């Protein structure tokens, strides 16, 4: 099924699919085989892909449509309706900006915009190197620390624009250190 769908793409679309995505698509093709071919299975199938791979690749949605014999419109209608589905792969450093009531009042919106500008991506997107992904969440239960941001598993409290810069720099420094460590070990 995957090969047939890939054959309908033009060259530029094919080039846009990187190896990581292709591996996910291949896995999805196998996993779909265990899903009964009825339209009732649409939501469970999407949930399965989301849980296993952390996002719904574009072509996976076409595969689901074909497997369940429903239209692509149906699949997209449902997938875009629910917030639980993502369309971009999660980054290695997922950044979740809290926009619950307290964080909203304390300017969480500004923090989100800061991240967007710093990383050059919009909310619900992933940076090209898959290092960062950005999303807004409702309440993370740290209202006293507003505005709060969750980076990976770590909660950052009282975030300010300068702290946004600090968070990114810290990640970059850690990445750089890990790379040097690796180089040293290889030598």
Partner 1 sequence: MSAEMVTITVDDKEITAPAGSYLLPVCLENDIYIPNLCYVEGMEKPPASCRLCLVEIEGVKGPQVSCRSEIFAGMVVKTNSEEILKLRQIAFRLLVSTNDGSCRTCISNRSCELQQIAKFLKQPLKTKRLRHIDRDYPELIDDHPYLVYEPKKCLLCGRCVHVCSTIEKGYKLSFAKRGMDTIVSFFGSELDPASVDCQDCFACTEVCPVGSLSSKEKWKAFIAGLDKK
Q: Which residues bind partner 1 (CB under 8 A)?
A: 8, 58, 61-62, 71-74, 76-77, 80-81
Find the shortest distance in angstroms from Cβ 50 to partner 1. 17
Spatial contact of 116 and 57, defined as CB atoms under 8 Å apart:
no
Q: Between 70 and 143, name the residue whose CB sits nearer to partner 1.
A: 70
Strand locations in 9-131 (E): 93-98, 125-126
Q: Between 58 and 175, name the residue whose CB sits nearer to partner 1.
A: 58
Token pair recorded at residue 40: 């009732």
CA 77/CA 96 separation, integer angstroms: 25
Find the shortest distance in angstroms from Cβ 85 to partner 1. 11
Find the shortest distance in angstroms from Cβ 132 to partner 1. 23
The DSSP symbol for 86 reads -
Spatial contact of 39 and 69, defined as CB atoms under 8 Å apart:
yes
Q: Between 37 and 83, name the residue whose CB sits nearer to partner 1.
A: 83
Q: Interhelix angle for 19-32 vs 58-68, to 10°? A: 20
Q: Between 64 and 111, name the residue whose CB sits nearer to partner 1.
A: 64
Find the shortest distance in angstroms from Cβ 147 to partner 1. 22
CA 59/CA 57 separation, integer angstroms: 6
- Give 155's strand partners: 150
Q: Between 29 and 155, name the residue whose CB sits nearer to partner 1.
A: 29
Find the shortest distance in angstroms from Cβ 155 to partner 1. 28
């Amino acid at each position: 099924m995957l090969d047939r769908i890939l054959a309908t793409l033009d060259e530029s679309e094919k080039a846009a699919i990187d190896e990581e995505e292709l591996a996910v698509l291949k896995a999805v093709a196998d996993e779909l085989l265990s899903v009964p071919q009825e339209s009732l299975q649409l939501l469970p199938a999407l949930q399965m892909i989301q849980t296993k791979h952390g996002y719904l690749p574009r072509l996976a949605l076409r595969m689901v449509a074909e497997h369940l014999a429903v239209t692509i419109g149906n699949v997209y209608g449902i997938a875009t309706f629910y917030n639980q589905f993502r369309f971009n792969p999660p980054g290695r450093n997922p950044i979740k900006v809290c926009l619950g009531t307290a964080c909203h009042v304390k300017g969480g919106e500004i923090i989100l915009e800061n991240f967007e500008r710093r990383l050059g991506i919009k909310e619900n997107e992933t940076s090209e190197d898959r290092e960062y992904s950005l999303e807004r969440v409702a309440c993370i239960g740290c209202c006293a620390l507003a505005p709060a941001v969750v980076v990976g598993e770590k909660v950052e409290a009282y975030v300010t624009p300068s702290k946004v810069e600090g968070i990114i720099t810290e990640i970059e420094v850690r990445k750089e250190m890990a790379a040097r460590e690796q180089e040293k070990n290889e030598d």
